[in-house]
Structure 1
Amino acid sequence: MTPDQLRQKYLDFFARQGHAIVPSAPLVPENDPTTLFTGSGMQPMVPYLLGEKHPKGTRITDSQKCFRSQDIEEVGDNRHTTFFEMLGNWSLGDYFKKEQLRWFFEFLTKEVGLDPQRLFVTVFSGSQELGIPRDTESVAIWKELFKEVGIEATDVDNAERDGIQGGRIFYYGEKKNWWSRSGVPANMPSGEPGGPDSEVFFDFGAELKLHENSPFQNEPCHVNCDCGRFLEIGNSVFMQYQKQDDGSFKELPQKNVDFGGGLERILAVQNNKRDVFETELFSEIIAQIEQTTGKKYEAEHKTQMRVIADHLKAAVFLIKDGVVPSNKTQGYFLRRLIRRATVKLHQLGGSLNPSSLFTIADRGVLQTYDGVYFDRRVDRDLIDRVLSEEAAKFSKSLDKGLRFFEKQDKVDGKVAFDLYQTYGFPLEITIEMAQQKHEQVDVDQFKAEFEKHKDLSRSASAGMFKGGLADHSEVTTKYHTATHLLQAALRKVLGTHVQQKGSNITGERLRFDFSHNAPMTTEQQQEVEKLVNDWIKADLPVTMQLMQKQDALRSGAIAFFIEKYPDQVSVYTIGKDPEHDWISKEFCGGPHVKSTGEIGPIKLTKEQSASAGVRRVYMQLV
């Protein structure tokens, strides 16, 4: 079964159960300032899990692109990836445990063709402290499902301590079988939904003796063991509780189901592969890495090749969704991915030619997902430009940094910071290289050096005016409102990947920095200028509302420096109707003109590069 067939089979199966198929949300959340990336299928669904009505109904299914930055350092084994697709289905106050567990079991056994003898499941053991009971309801459902295929399923406790004990259904506590976006109940903020879950594992078989030949051979083997015998392939979360202000949990009036199953993992077990990097989703990118390095995907090279394959795939998807390399927020993680892949490629003997990364990514990612998430002919120029520019920048310092590293008698925190600051080496790369020399980096010392550098930078930039305005004069206020119009025009002409990276406004002109990877054409500059002037001529009202931050984001307001805003924010809207008919809606402290007609004609005078992946434009009143 191919990846495309599996993805479609899942969506079709749940469509037959009355689910509406929705497209994947972007990897960068549009209206969620609490997280940098979409890391699960559940994230875009939070408002609906809390009771908001979904426009498509109460049964939803999708295949969601996900990126988990916390897994970067886990990549290298046969199952962890930073980018993956999460097959998902949701019940929003509709069906519950009985239907969900049956449907997923039927999908695995009848649609995918997995042997039910190879399937093992886990359930929540309950918590007396939280007042949440054992999930005996799910146990009863699982027993019935296994009985229908001729399997007598026994439920057991304490598998971590006592092993499998002939069981098929296993009770685990909150660390394993409780799900919320924040993790265990103690980490959940007030108001967050969560609940017990039931996971399904595939057993590759005791006959392979994976446990006996693993580092865990002296511990009992169980489904959550890391020996490699079992692989989790799906998790049904029963979102039935909400944390209260006093730390207790209250049942939600609307009980929901949130299911997520990794496409890569289900594909692997369907093809009886223990290594997700040996599936069709990675076969071409691994082949390209082999061709570039002259090495084979064999024992001593597997870890490095997995890192390159995963990081390049994740980088390509992030670039497609508008992320550019930088030292902040999402761009920082993209930079880490590209640079870590570059180091691993170099260590395998690959060329430091900046085009090498794109050559691998073009065939290995764009071609693999062409027609699903990419239009290869359209997207390859953007991907090539971003990867090649970042690789070229890092390649210049990579050799020097490696030579500097080799000269050090001891790799302490200061050396790690020098590698970071001078040569662009992410900390984890230095840690990995130090481990190869049997040394340990003093991370606390690195952080101290980093803070010292930040303090110096703050001192150097002290005295800047709030919001980039030189003053609050009438002409500066006009330029400030024009800046909002400019950003709206840029997003309309170039795309919604455009994000403000900085601005500076004086009485003579405005300067605006934004994320974009190519110089603007003359036609694009003219179109942006025309849009801004058309909106000025329309004399659109400029209104301000005080709103709660979350309400403002849900209304469509944009804020690219979200962390600096308090819970209550001022939102400036330019348009005929702040609710339904507007050109621009942004978090902003003001000041602004009362209507756009006060600004007068304005001209785009210059467009240039500000830094890698960031363009700069100037506008001047005429």
Structure 2
Amino acid sequence: MTKVDIAIYQRNKVVTRDEDLVLVEPEHGLRFRRKGVFFINILQESLMKKMSYNEIREIYLDYMKQHDHSFIPSASLVPDNDPTVLYVNAGMFPLVPFLMGESHPNGTRLANSQRCIRTIDIDEVGDISHLTSFEMLGNWSLNDYFKKEAIELTVDLFVNRYGFDINNIYASVFEGNENSPEDDVSIQVWKEIFRSYGIEASAGPGERIQKLGMDENWWELAGGGPCGPCSEIFYDTGKELCSDKCDVSCSCGKYIELGNNVFMEYLKEGESYKPLGRFNVDFGGGLDRLAMISQQAESVWETDKYLPILKKVKELSQVEVVESERIIIDHLKAASWIVMDGVIPGRTEREYILRRLIRRAIRHGRNLGMTKSFVGEIVDICIDQFMDIYPQLDEDREKIVEVIVSEETKFNETIEKGLHEFERWFDKTFEGKKEYIFDNSDGFTFSMYETFGFPLEMSLEELKNRNVRFDEAQVRENHLREYEKHQEKSRTATKGLFKGGLADTSEESKKLHTATHLLLQALYRVVGSHVFQKGSNITPERLRLDFPNDTKLTPEQIQKVEDLVNEQIDKKLPVSFVEMSKDEAMKLVQYAAFEDRYGEIVKVYTIGTADDPYSIEICNGPHVDNTSELRRFKIIKQENVGAGIKRIKAILE
């Protein structure tokens, strides 16, 4: 059947020019039947509703609820008590214990929309679809349904609820290797789905179902754990193939990944794989990309949430550089989300990523001719655009803008230092020489970039201003060489930090986690009832706790806190938990940070007896069974980490 076969489509009434066609109404959507074969309704382009960012999320969550999934709130970008991950980078991150077999209080079918930061993609930002900050729509089956129902749910959602054209849908599956066979189950499921829409699909190179290897279609946690093959779903944008090797994994923009079903049926231990004994599903779909397809936009940057921000960037720009415009939007949006979750720019790990995002945005602002302060205005628009989803952005607006603008001021001062350093280098390098020739063989431009945030383009401009002769291609090649060496070092140093992974559940970390609860209660009693947890981080060596307080603790207060914690250790208090509704739990606890992260059913940990509890907190664990397992508690450092926020680091001696 072709578009000519349909004369009218209006309010479920279809008039055709082919008397052999019969309109049928299956469970989802309208289809035509001829000789027992189903055909998707044509004129898909005109039937596809252009949905807003918020509508797409709402439809998704309603759809999952109709299929018996319980909603769980978005977690903070900053993982609680997990040193293995700098930022939450996937919707599944808070669910790792339940994927391993722990019973989830909300059941075996879950769904949410999770804020994510994925800095591994930072160098891809600037194209049509990559972001470092995004929302991931996710649903999970914890040993409930598996491949067939998971893929069918995804296709039904995309085609019959979002209205995406099935003729533009492509799939990838795992091709198999020595650890796991080809995923023939998923291949068969996809073939049956396509056939139900009148499409005879084959599996192979360039086909509608494409087989890919471990790099593309296998998922596992850093360091081992549950893992398995995945099946991705793509949308053909209609662009020409970039080459005869172009497939769904190509980054040319012809195919846009809409989502990915991960089938966790294996357990990786060391370098070996064995059956997990459970059949979990983890689906993730990028909300920004879904909006791009739904709104038929050229890129995610032309969708409803981003257009007002893009307009402001263009207003402040002197020239047009599309890549720089997109990087500024992405990085400052990411920065506003991160600052909202309590992080401030700094020199180590999580804080350094925030600093890098802000400074990279500023450098690209210079590419657009923005020589004056500009980040505050753009951050304001970012907050305006996302505060309907995340009200805390507006509540913390003043703090967020202040932190990011302060970093801009510091960076501009650093740039000035860089100009002075450039002048010093120039005088030293070319002193007494008649000709100024430069090849960048020593990686000078990258050194300026790394130390002073000097973009390569600024170094080239300064060289030209001083009449230095150079081959720009050679200079860029040597700059790229140094950059790639630096990237390799960074990948090695942070291996396992960006993929996500299991929270550290070693015995030492369990002890320090329990000690964190003891510390928080001690601070509440000694410092005041305004104390609550703003953030925490635990390694096997020490604990770190952030809490609101205007001044640092006095030596006397520190001693009182230490004594109170050690007193509970000496009392050999039991540690236990019960599951209850969030409303019930909120009546029991004295403080509950991050209330919006909790599902309807939560764990409540008690240190002490039911008749005489020392501490009662909402927490996912894990903890020791008794405080007698802890050694002597000692505070080793306290510091300021922002306006009205103090940080304590402590150990068990």
TM-score normalised according to structure 1 size: 0.70
Are residues 1:339 and 2:367 paired? Answer: no
The equivalent residue for 2:264 is: 239
Deviation at 1:616, TM superposition (A): 8.1
Correspondent of 1:263 among 287, 299, 318: 287
The equivalent residue for 1:507 is: none
Measured in 1, the distance between the counterparts of 2:359 and 2:211 equals 42
The equivalent residue for 1:146 is: 194
Higher relative contact order (CA 8 A, sep 6+): 2
Correspondent of 1:204 among 211, 221, 237: 237
Q: Rate the CA distance shift 1:67–1:492 in 2: closer, same or farther, 3 A.
A: farther
Measured in 2, the distance between the counterparts of 1:277 and 1:322 equals 27
Deviation at 1:248, TM superposition (A): 2.8
Which stretch of structure 1 is more off in the superposition, 109-118 or 577-586? 577-586
| Partner-residue secondary structure (3-state), 1:23 | coil
The equivalent residue for 2:411 is: 394
The equivalent residue for 2:106 is: 56
The equivalent residue for 1:168 is: 208
Deviation at 1:262, TM superposition (A): 0.6
The equivalent residue for 1:440 is: 478
Deviation string 1:82-129 (CA, Å, 9 cap, x unpaired) is 1111110000010111111111100000111101001011111111x2
The equivalent residue for 2:255 is: 230
Deviation string 1:192-246 (CA, Å, 9 cap, x unpaired) is 11111111110012xx43x3xxxx43x422222222111111100110000134x
Are residues 1:86 and 2:103 paired? Answer: no
Are residues 1:359 and 2:359 paired? Answer: no
Tell me, which stretches of 5 or more residues in structure 1 are unaligned?
183-188, 452-480, 502-511, 546-572, 594-598, 600-606, 618-622
| Partner-residue secondary structure (3-state), 1:155 | coil
Asked if structure 2 preserves the Cα contact closer than 8 Å seen for 1:386 and 1:613, the reply is: no
The letter of the residue matching 2:405 is S
The equivalent residue for 1:378 is: 395
What does 1:112-151 correspond to in 2, within 5 Å? 112-127=162-177, 129-130=178-179, 132-151=180-199
Deviation at 1:43, TM superposition (A): 1.5
Deviation string 1:452-482 (CA, Å, 9 cap, x unpaired) is xxxxxxxxxxxxxxxxxxxxxxxxxxxxx99
The letter of the residue matching 1:76 is G
The equivalent residue for 1:458 is: none
| Partner-residue secondary structure (3-state), 2:89 | coil
Q: What RMSD, in angstroms, separates the aligned Cα atoms of the two structures?
A: 4.4
Measured in 1, the distance between the counterparts of 2:461 and 2:111 equals 40
Asked if structure 2 preserves the Cα contact closer than 8 Å seen for 1:292 and 1:351, the reply is: no
Q: Rate the CA distance shift 1:181–1:427 in 2: closer, same or farther, 3 A.
A: farther
Measured in 2, the distance between the counterparts of 1:392 and 1:117 equals 51
Asked if structure 1 preserves the Cα contact closer than 8 Å seen for 2:77 and 2:116, the reply is: yes
Correspondent of 1:248 among 266, 269, 272: 272
| Partner-residue secondary structure (3-state), 2:101 | coil
The equivalent residue for 1:102 is: 152
Q: Rate the CA distance shift 1:87–1:581 in 2: closer, same or farther, 3 A.
A: farther
Deviation string 1:139-171 (CA, Å, 9 cap, x unpaired) is 111111112222111222xx2xxxx2xx21111
Asked if structure 1 preserves the Cα contact closer than 8 Å seen for 2:91 and 2:138, the reply is: yes
The equivalent residue for 2:599 is: none
Measured in 2, the distance between the counterparts of 1:10 and 1:93 equals 22
Q: Rate the CA distance shift 1:295–1:581 in 2: closer, same or farther, 3 A.
A: farther
The equivalent residue for 1:28 is: 78
TM-score normalised according to structure 2 size: 0.67
Asked if structure 1 preserves the Cα contact closer than 8 Å seen for 2:317 and 2:368, the reply is: yes
The letter of the residue matching 1:304 is S
The letter of the residue matching 2:235 is F
Measured in 2, the distance between the counterparts of 1:101 and 1:482 equals 47
Deviation string 1:314-364 (CA, Å, 9 cap, x unpaired) is 1111111111100001000000000111111122111432xx21211111x
Deviation at 1:575, TM superposition (A): 6.0
Measured in 1, the distance between the counterparts of 2:413 and 2:71 equals 47
Measured in 1, the distance between the counterparts of 2:528 and 2:73 equals 22
Correspondent of 1:310 among 330, 333, 339: 330
Deviation at 1:399, TM superposition (A): 3.6
The letter of the residue matching 2:147 is K
The letter of the residue matching 2:160 is K
What does 1:547-562 correspond to in 2, within 5 Å? none
The equivalent residue for 1:509 is: none
Tell me, which stretches of 5 or more residues in structure 2 are unaligned?
1-50, 427-437, 463-471, 491-517, 573-604, 618-622, 649-653
